[in-house]
Amino acid sequence: MQALSDSANPAAPVAPKPSWIDTIKVYLQPASLRMLALGFSAGLPLLLVLGTLSFRLREAGIDRSTIGYLSWVGLAYGFKWAWAPLVDRVPLPGLTRRLGRRRAWLLLSQIAVASGLVGLALVDPRAVLSPVKLGAADDAWFVVWLSPLVWCALAVAFASATQDIALDAYRIESAPTEEQPALAATYQTGYRLAMIWAGAGVLWLAARAQGGAAGYDNHAWQVAYLVMAGSMAIGVLTVLFSPEPMARPMPPARTAQEWVQSALVAPFADFFRRYKWQAALILALIAVYRISDVVMGIMANPFYVDMGYTKDEVAAVTKVYGVIMTLVGAFVGGSLSLRFGVMRILMLGAVLSALTNLLFAWLAGYGHSVPALIAVVSADNLASGIASAAFVGYLSSLTNISYSATQYALFSSLMLMLPKFVAGFSGDYVNAFGYAGFFTSTALLGLPVLVLVALAARARRVESKPETV
């Protein structure tokens, strides 16, 4: 791991590493605490249209192939770069004047997410998806994608992606570069807490609303999803009581061609101009870094259902042990990135993410065991927290603050496009090869990531060396 270095120009004086006390103090600054709450708002919708929704659908008797294909609603996150320039440049009538550019888009997107979650609460998946067996009829795709459930999920995904665009820009503009790993860590902590609330919390709520009844209870799921919609109030209140980052003046566009050039072309041209030949390597790394986790995650909840775990068991394990290990992972990932450099921790996160997928393969053969589930979920959340904190810090370091929303949207979109597309076939793969084979394959998907991290670290070291005459 010594080869993975983030050192600056060797000829320049080496700045002393911050003490552990100074490192911890960064997490207590107002900007970091705001990112904790806003990270919660950003993390809440994701599982509710992907992971938790897959648990609900599987319990309702929807087949795994359909669940896998429906995960493609998550591709909305992969194409957010397409409308990121609008979020970056277009003011919202009334809201922007009162709240500022970033907070206006944040508030609008949060309200849209809450509305979409209410829609998901009111739809019974058995009424709209159960009769459909993909491949059994020529119009199966047409029937599925006209489902109100799918359209509500798409609305939540698009609104959530828009929130991500505005929030990433808000975070990047709220603190200098050296503090970004800490903001990334608190953001990831809030994000992961929300995912636990949207995963374990929603299962716990549904189980309480269902009482002692067995099987699928749509009313219980309605109650749980309505509570999730209300939980978006945390983000709304944070936006209303937070300051707007200092606005960076942008030259006015006199013509439509100038607007297209400044809003659409310039952010991407700036990235390729700054990184030149490294741009392709960086984009390749971004495209595959989280592929093991994303592809595996789609089938995690159907796996729990098929292994006989109850909602209470899954909720208890992820709520207690998942919370603890996620917090530890995010803190460790952010702190280690500050002290030892992002590239080293990127490599560590990639290795751990692949290895924890193998633990799920082991669990598939081990059988129903709550202690075994605790061990596997704890390791998975620890690895994910470390990898996510380092990766967000890495992406933030690549952006030009003049185009923060658009460039970060490009990076985070690219991060999801390939994994989400591959994940759509996960149900078919499980049906053909079983869960153990599926989880092992997702671990192997992480091998190219290790090579790309090493190459990107080497390129960064070479780029930082002073030119010799």
- Reported confidence tier of residue 9, pLDDT bands at 50, 70, 90: very low
- Reported confidence tier of residue 319, pLDDT bands at 50, 70, 90: low
pLDDT for position 239: 94
Q: What percent of the chain has pLDDT over 90?
A: 29
pLDDT for position 447: 92
- 13 pLDDT above the threshold of 70: no
pLDDT for position 364: 93
- Reported confidence tier of residue 71, pLDDT bands at 50, 70, 90: confident
Of 2-16, 227-241, 416-430, which range is least confident?
2-16
**pLDDT tens-digit profile of 148-183?**
888 899 999 999 999 998 998 888 887 776 677 778
Rounded Cα–Cα distance for residues 380 and 442 (Å): 13
- 466 pLDDT above the threshold of 60: no
**pLDDT tens-digit profile of 232-276?**
999 999 999 998 887 666 666 566 677 667 766 788 888 888 888
- 300 pLDDT above the threshold of 80: yes
pLDDT for position 67: 83
Can you tell me the mean pLDDT for 434-443? 94
pLDDT for position 415: 81
Rounded Cα–Cα distance for residues 76 and 413 (Å): 9
CA distances from 398 to 177, 180, 270, 374, 408 (A): 10, 11, 11, 36, 8
Tokens of 104: 């206006």
Asked whether 456 and 353 are in contact (CB, 8 A), the reply is: no
pLDDT for position 101: 86
**240 phi, psi to nearest 5 deg:** -65, -30
Q: What percent of the chain has pLDDT over 70?
A: 84
Asked whether 50 and 297 are in contact (CB, 8 A), the reply is: yes
pLDDT for position 118: 96
What integer best gives the mean pLDDT of the chain?
Answer: 82
* pLDDT winner (highest mean) among 107-111, 134-138, 251-255: 107-111
- 131 pLDDT above the threshold of 50: no
Read off the amino acid at residue 427: G
Can you tell me the mean pLDDT for 68-87? 83
- Reported confidence tier of residue 138, pLDDT bands at 50, 70, 90: very low
- Reported confidence tier of residue 107, pLDDT bands at 50, 70, 90: very high
pLDDT for position 5: 41
Of 74-78, 189-193, 244-248, which range is least confident?
244-248
Can you tell me the mean pLDDT for 382-397? 85
Can you tell me the mean pLDDT for 47-55? 84
